[in-house]
Amino acid sequence: MTPTPPLMSRRSALMSFAGAACAGLAACGRAPVAVLDPLPSWNDGAAKRAILHFADAVGAVNGMPADERIAVFDNDGTLWTEQPIYIEAQFTLDRARQMLREEPSLAANPPFAALASAGESLSSLDAQALGALAMATHANSDPEGMEAQVRAWLETARHPRFGVPYTQCIYQPMLEVLRLLRGRQFKTFIVSGGGVDFIRAFAQATYGVPPEQVIGSSGGYHYEMRDGAGVVMKTPEPGSVDDGAGKPQNIALHIGRRPLAAFGNSDGDLEMLQYVSTGSGARLALLVHHDDASREYAYDRDSEVGRLSVALDEAAQRGWTVVSMKQDWRTIFPAAPRGPGI
């Protein structure tokens, strides 16, 4: 099998070639050729136009200084699939089941007891039980150990409906937005309700977002010397819930300024989109609306996962961009498996 070069390299090469061709034609006094579409997976429509208009406004001669160009992206349901359950919830369940198999006495522990009695059924495991399981399975590991666990799991786990690795259940149109904004000197951050160490395990290879540009929910950290080396361990202390008002609060703590663009898909992104869209100058606030049951999922006001109701109403009032997956996205998922280092 011929290795496929990462998508970004291929596109960069095409763009450079197009640029060189334009320069050459201009030197011959001829009209430049049409510029390549930076959003080929987007159908023409209001959403695509809003994104391109924003990118042009910020990047214009009188646009925002490069230092101010910050864009924030929710992860679950915005950059990758969150149905039938959050991917991190599946990781937690798989990890907890593995721990139970290796150490059956754990079943005496409350969070594991709930899992043991639930069996393969998830319905009796509510969000609180899942949170307790996440704490129990993640605690007392260092972030590097956690990363290794997540990566090993992502190698073998498959999405129950699509049958592919979860890192292929990412949205090709959003990858193009990430790339477009980076090309305009934006720093792209993930601001997710998911666990920060979980996301950091794959964000660089999957989205090109480095660990220090991932903000997420977190517990405590404890530094200690262990066998002559300094290590930071995760602790089960309550930390920060990066959802709702927690998102702009964590943006203030981690980034220290109001971003220019925000991308979300659920009520948990409402405050982040408000915060970003009510600043001055060119702004972009965008919601991905999951309305494509045949190619992905259709859900909004009544969904347990990724409920979109208050934010959908506010989008209409404030003029935010609402993306119809069905109508605005030509493709949903990347065509080819994605290697590391995109």
Cα separation, 42 vs 327, in Å, equals 9
Closest approach of Cβ 135 to a copy of itself, in Å?
16
Q: Give how far Cα 334 sits from Cα of 15, 301, 330, 337, Å.
A: 19, 28, 11, 7
Residue among 113 and 241 whose Cβ is closer to a copy of itself: 241
Residue among 81 and 250 whose Cβ is closer to a copy of itself: 250
Closest approach of Cβ 155 to a copy of itself, in Å?
20
Closest approach of Cβ 183 to a copy of itself, in Å?
18
Closest approach of Cβ 315 to a copy of itself, in Å?
15
Closest approach of Cβ 310 to a copy of itself, in Å?
13
Residue among 200 and 289 whose Cβ is closer to a copy of itself: 200
Which residues bind to a copy of itself, rule: CB under 8 A?
Answer: 67, 70, 143-144, 187, 189, 196-197, 200, 204, 210-214, 218, 221-225, 228-232, 245, 248-258, 271, 274-276, 278-279
Closest approach of Cβ 74 to a copy of itself, in Å?
16
Could you list the beta-strand ranges (E) of 290-329. Answer: 321-324
CA-based Rg of the chain, rounded to a whole angstrom? 21
Number of H helices, E strands in the chain: 13, 7
Q: Give how far Cα 237 sits from Cα of 138, 209, 221, Å.
A: 11, 27, 8
168 secondary structure, DSSP code = G
Residue among 24 and 279 whose Cβ is closer to a copy of itself: 279
Residue among 84 and 239 whose Cβ is closer to a copy of itself: 239
Residue among 65 and 163 whose Cβ is closer to a copy of itself: 65
Cα separation, 66 vs 325, in Å, equals 30
What is the per-residue DSSP string for 244-271? Answer: TTHHHHHHHHHT-S--SEEEE-SGGGHH
Cα separation, 208 vs 253, in Å, equals 22
